[in-house]
A and B are shown apart, each in its own frame.
Chain A
Amino acid sequence: MDIVINILTGALMSVINMAKIVIPVMVALELAKKFNILDKLARGLKPITNFFGMERKSGLLLMIGLIFGLAYGAGAILQYVEEGEVNKRDLVLLMAFLSLCHAVPEDTLLFVNAGGKGVVILGSRILAAALVTYIMSKKIKTEEQAAQWA
C-alpha cells in the first residue's frame, strides 16, 4: 500500500513541478504577444543577425523560435516561410540554429526544476548553435548553396 501511495504522490509532484514552469511561461508568452514585446526584442538581435550575415527581419523568426520553440512557434514560423518573408539562406541558418537551441525559457527551467544545472544546459546549447551556424554562414554564401540544404 505504501508503495502505491509513494508512486502516486511522486506522480502528482512531477505534475506540480511542471505546472510551476508551464503556467508562468504561458502567461509570459501571452503578455509578450499582447504587448508586441517580441518585435522589440527582435530588434535587439541585430548584432546576432549581422554576425551571421542574415537580413534584419529574420531576427523576428529567430526570436519566435528562441522563446516559443519549434512546436509552439510552428504556426508563426511556417506562416513566415509561406509568405516568403525569409530568403533560403537565412532560413537554413535559422533552422540550424533553432534545431540546436529553441524554447530557451521553458526547456531550461524544466530541466533546472528537475535538478539539472542551468548554466551548463543553456551554455552547451548556445555554444553549439552559435558555432554550427557560424561555420554554415561561412560556407553558405548564395541561394544556390542554400538550396543544397533543402
Chain B
Amino acid sequence: MKLLQAVTTGLKKGSKTTLKLAKITVPIYIVVKILELTPIFPMLGRGFSPFMGLFNLPGEAALPIMLGNFINIYAGLGALSALNLTGPQITTISVILSFSHTMFVETAVIKGAKVNVFKMVMLRIVGAIVFGILVGQTIGR
C-alpha cells in the first residue's frame, strides 16, 4: 500500500513538474529555432565567439548557458536541444551548466540558509569557467 501510494504520488508530481517545465522549454526551443533563421543568430554567434572560444565552443553556445543561468536548467536544455552541436560540445556545455544554473532560485536557498551568497555564487562561476576550459580544451574537441 505504501509502495503504491509512493508510486502514484511520484507519477502525479512528475507529470505536473514535466508540464510546468514544458511551459519553459517549448517556447524557448521555438524561439531559438526561429532565431536560427534570422540574421540576428550569426551576429549573436560572432559576438560571443571570443568568449566561447575559451571553451572551444561556437558563439551560439552562449544561448543555452545564459538561459540556463538566468532562468533554469530546463530553459538551458530547451536551447541546447534546439542547436546543432557535436557530442563533445554538448559535454562541455553540460559541465558549465551543471556548475552554474538556476542562479536566482538556488541562490535564494543559500541566502535562506544564511551563508554568504556572493562567495557561493563565485565558487559556482569559477568552477564553471575552470572546468569548462579544462573539459572544452581536452575532451571537448
Using a CB–CB cutoff of 8 Å, the interface residues on chain A facing chain B are 3, 7-8, 10-11, 13-15, 17-19, 22-31, 33-35, 70-71, 74, 77-78, 81, 91-92, 95-96, 99-100, 107-108, 110-111, 114-117, 120-121, 124-125, 128, 132, 149-150
Contact = CB atoms under 8 A, between A and B. Distances in A.
Interface in B46-87: 73-74, 77-78, 80-82, 85, 87
Given A10-B29, A34-B5, A120-B91, 19 more contacts: A8-B30, A11-B26, A14-B29, A15-B22, A18-B74, A23-B14, A27-B11, A34-B6, A70-B110, A77-B109, A91-B113, A92-B115, A99-B110, A100-B127, A110-B74, A115-B85, A116-B93, A128-B130, A128-B131
A54 B110 CA distance: 19
Nearest to A131: B127
Interface residues of B, number: 60
A49 B90 CA distance: 33
Contacts of A95: 110, 113, 115, 120
Nearest to B10: A27
Given A10-B29, A81-B114, A30 B109 contact: no
Nearest to B82: A10
A22 B15 CA distance: 8
B115 A74 contact: no
Nearest to B122: A99
A27 B6 CA distance: 7
Contacts, number: 176
Contacts of A120: 91, 94-95, 135, 139
B22 A74 contact: no
Given A91-B113, A115-B90, A128 B21 contact: no
B80 A114 contact: yes
Given A34-B2, A70-B110, A120-B139, A128 B127 contact: yes
A148 B3 CA distance: 45
B18 A114 contact: no
A31 B3 contact: yes
Contact of B2 (A27, A35, A74, A149): A35
A51 to B, nearest CB: 19
Contact of B22 (A18, A70, A96, A99): A18
B112 interface: yes
Given A34-B5, A114-B77, A120-B91, A99 B14 contact: no
A71 B22 CA distance: 18
Nearest to B130: A128
A74 B90 contact: no
